[in-house]
Amino acid sequence: MYTPRINWFLFVLFLLGAIGVLAASLFIPAFRPVAYAPLRELILPPPAPVVVSVLYSTEKEAWLQDVIVEFEKTNPAIDGHPVKVELEKMGSWEINAAVLDETRQPVIVSPASSLQIAALQDASIAETGRSLVNPADSNTCRPTVTTPLVLVAWKQRADVLWGGQPGRSLWKDLHDALTSSEGWAGYNQPEWGYVKFGHTDPLKSNSGFMTIVLMTYGYHNKTSGLSTSDILSDDEYQTWFLETESSIGQFEYSTGPLMEKMVAYGPSVFDIVAVYEATAIEQADNAVGRYGELRVYYPPALLWSDHPFCILNGEWVQPQQTEAAILFMDYLTSKPAQQLALLKYGFRPVDGSIPLEQTGSPFDRYAANGFRSDLSHLPDLEIPAGNVLNTLRDFWSRNVNR
């Protein structure tokens, strides 16, 4: 059968083009998708992945695991290289320590709060003369989900102590109740023993550190401008602070176990604890029918756990890893990921277009337990400078740590 010369010419042209694309794919992975599929899969090795290692705090573990599954379904790639996210969990303060002494060299760090990012920035500048993070750059350092620190109490005890929602003097009132030699007898409830308050270890857990920041701000009756002199040069504050902390028998290492212990053992162990709003939501159903009604109370000024994801300015972070990390962070703040964080895990989205009050929202489901979606009437506390945070942490370590 006669084949026109033009057809042979086109066939040879196609064959040369296919071979050229295949050859290019060996050196430039971006060409791989257009290479002839049977030959590509037979001959070409898969391109090496761009690995984004993430050192993260445990509070968001379940949400993060779910999100990564969905992220991988989008087939993310940088210059033809697939993006692979590798996770390692660690306490928020442990993250800072591991990065500073370089026992870990991740691409991204994600502690529970921007408090740790501010402290890391200050500590890295002090040690090396340059900052390992840049919280001012929202492209490489951004919050992903938020939850405020709240007080969770058995309603019967809170009604006696506060008579409803606590006021601006919450922390001073709590100090007086905790340090009173009469305990609950001073409130005509002698059978309840002493007032029992709990928070986590500030050296290990972000919620514990947030608690002592809130206490310090509350004592000084301010919402911004906390300074090192407020901590080191005020003897009355130091006495008040140490009296409050000495009333706590044991500091749990993590927020989840603290809340679980309150639910499991009731007011025999804790009357009140300081935990994240999302942690309280997680345990709301487990508390039903145990020791009365468990309710959440918002402090007079709010401090937020905002779970920042920040790309490190480390020599070990390659340009492709930075691109891949930004791609991953974009997905974390996308509507599907944010909606999942709200409905399944009780976090507040950073995407303001997602309503907190919607079908399936925990803020509707647990409104009777005191959860409030609208907190606009409460002021936010300013995150203190890194040197102030490190001073407060050092003060606690020197005088309370046990």
Does any domain span residue 357? no
pLDDT digits (tens), the chain, 402 positions = 445 555 555 544 554 554 544 444 444 545 445 444 554 444 556 789 999 999 999 899 999 999 999 999 999 999 989 999 999 999 899 999 999 999 999 999 999 999 999 999 999 999 889 999 999 999 999 999 999 999 999 999 999 998 877 888 999 999 999 999 999 999 999 999 999 999 999 999 999 999 999 999 999 999 999 999 999 999 999 999 999 999 998 899 889 899 999 999 999 999 999 999 999 999 988 888 788 889 999 999 999 999 999 999 999 999 999 999 999 999 999 999 999 999 999 999 999 999 999 999 999 999 999 999 999 999 999 999 999 999 999 999 999 986
Does any domain span residue 366? no
159: its two tokens: 């009604």
Does any domain span residue 356? no
Same domain assignment for residues 54 and 181: no
Count structural domains, the chain: 3
Q: What is the separation, in whole angstroms, between the first and last Cα of the chain? A: 93
Same domain assignment for residues 389 and 321: no
Do 119 and 390 meet the contact criterion of CB atoms below 8 Å apart? yes
> What's the pTM value of the predicted model, to 2 decimals?
0.85
Structural domain of residue 9, as residue ranges? 5-43
Residue 273's beta-bridge partner residues?
152, 198
CATH assignment of the domain containing 314: 3.40.190.10
Residue 86's beta-bridge partner residues?
53
Dist CA 247 CA 291 (whole Å): 23
Does any domain span residue 363? no
List, for residues 319-357, the tens digit of each pLDDT value.
Answer: 999 999 999 999 999 999 999 999 999 999 999 999 999
Does any domain span residue 352? no
Same domain assignment for residues 165 and 109: no
Dist CA 64 CA 53 (whole Å): 13
Same domain assignment for residues 247 and 114: no
Dist CA 150 CA 369 (whole Å): 13
187: its two tokens: 């409130």
Same domain assignment for residues 101 and 178: no
Same domain assignment for residues 294 and 222: yes
